[in-house]
Structure 1
Amino acid sequence: MTDTQRRGRRIMMTPRERDTFLAGQRTCRVATVSADGTPHVSPLWFVWDGTSLWLYSLARSRRWADLRADGRVAVVVDAGEAYGELRGVELSGRVAFVGESPRTGEECPELDAVEREFARKNFGMAEMVHDGRHAWARLTPDKIASWDFRKLADL
């Protein structure tokens, strides 16, 4: 994974800042491309495990069909309203599909911690409830860029 940026080094998040930010956010924006070249961006809940971004998507969505046809993806997680509050992370690479699709709860040790965290973070529950409509894709990014405009106040 590339974690360096040419521009904006002054406002780049440290790995610890990035991990804390991603752990605290709920919604990301996922950019895919359809087979005909049409771009598509959609919001989605996620979990960050310190290495990978885990995307929990409807298995019968345009986003999922796009990812199945071409696993390349770009994802943005951002926050802030005023210019001096803006912060975020952009991650890109290829997704890997984990577990059955759609997910019905079959044993999958790789998803144990991810699903516990997703259930806690988004539903305040101790374990995941599987609805048979969603599935998991894991993005272990090739590239990461980050920014935190609040650091500009320190200059």
Structure 2
Amino acid sequence: MTSTGQRRGRRIMMTAAERDAFLAAERTCRVATAGADGTPHVSPLWFAWDGTSLWLYSITRSRRWAQLRERPRLSVVVDAGEEYGELRGVELTGTAEFVGEAPRTGEPCAELEAPERLFARKNFGMDAMVYDGRHAWIRLTPESLTSWDFRKLGLG
């Protein structure tokens, strides 16, 4: 990358506070996994961000779940904007960690109390989860995190 590109990258990078606010507001992410032969698979999913980790509530019979069980590396993108000058987003990469029982039936799990409350409020306007016996939790604590906000370029 050229130094101009690097300067631009730093200029459009979100601050930690901007990133946290963005991830708290957005609902849908795109989760990228890989099959046994390396074929990529990308699927949309709702999530919650706790300021440190991205929490994904995935169907346990999904292709995504099976691939992450075999190969836990993943990349997730959360983005927004329609016009070029409005584009903004965050890419998080790391290793999936499976938390709680699978599928989730509501067994007490202290580690899930906060993310479940965040997820239920954000996506359903409720204070507690309703379990369907089909989903379970995946935590992504990013090893790398990249953000961009083209609105900072002042193009619009």
Shorter-chain TM band: over 0.9
Instruction: Please list every run of 5 or more consecutive structure 2 residues that lacks an aligned counterpart in the other structure.
Output: none
Q: In the alignment, which residue of structure 2 is the partner of 1:25?
A: 26
Q: Once the two structures are superposed, what CA deviation does each residue of 1:14-68 show, in whole Å capped at 9, x if it has no partner? A: 0010000000000000000011211100000000000000010000000000000
Aligned residue number for residue 89 of structure 2: 88
Structure 1 segments of 4+ aligned residues over 3 angstroms from their partners: none
Q: How many residues align?
A: 150
Paired amino acid for 1:105: G
User: Which residue of structure 2 aligns with residue 98 of structure 1?
Assistant: 99
Cα distance in 2 for partners of 1:53, 1:103 equals 17
TM-score (normalised: structure 2): 0.93
Name the structure 1 match of 2:48: 47
**Counterpart position of 1:135:** 136
Identity %: 74
SS in 1 for 2:154: helix
Unaligned runs of 5+ in 1: none
Q: Which residue in the other structure is 2:76 paired with?
A: 75
TM-score by length of 1: 0.94
Provide the aligned C-alpha RMSD in A.
Answer: 1.3
In structure 2, what is the equivalent of residue 107 of structure 1? 108
Residue in structure 1 matched with residue 61 of structure 2 by the alignment: 60
